[in-house]
Amino acid sequence: MAVTKTLTKSIPHVKSSKAEKWDLEMTYENDSEGDATYYKSVFSHTAIAADGDFTKAAKSSFNLAALTAMCPVSQWDIVFASQVDSVITNPVVNPVPDQAFTVPSS
């Protein structure tokens, strides 16, 4: 299972030239599009300086590592692994109706 994680959205909310809040989105992909084991999920998180998620600073001072560190990646890893397991690895097999069945006469 080759999982790719990509930060796909980072929107700063700025006040007095400093980011006070970030809207973040990360896309997880299992394998490659077109593969039988391909699965994609998007997670989002709002990081708020006042909640202690990060220290207010100029938006330009936040690099990819700093933005990624604000995301609950370990939690998302667990959720994504569970999604892949239930959809790809061990999908639910629904019962199939037997249209040929006839009601017994006695």
Radius of gyration (C-alpha) of the chain in whole angstroms: 22
**Tokens, residue 2:** 């080759």
Give per-residue pLDDT as tens, 78-102: 999 999 999 888 888 889 999 999 9
- Provide the pLDDT confidence category of residue 33 given band limits of 50, 70 and 90: confident
**Tokens, residue 84:** 């892949």
Sheet strands side by side (includes 18-30): 3-15, 18-30, 39-48
- Quick check: 57 and 28 in contact, CB under 8 A? no
Q: Where are the domains of the chain?
A: 3-89
Give per-residue pLDDT as tens, 52-62: 999 999 999 99
The whole-number pLDDT of residue 60 equals 97
Q: How far apart are CA 26 and CA 40, in angstroms?
A: 11
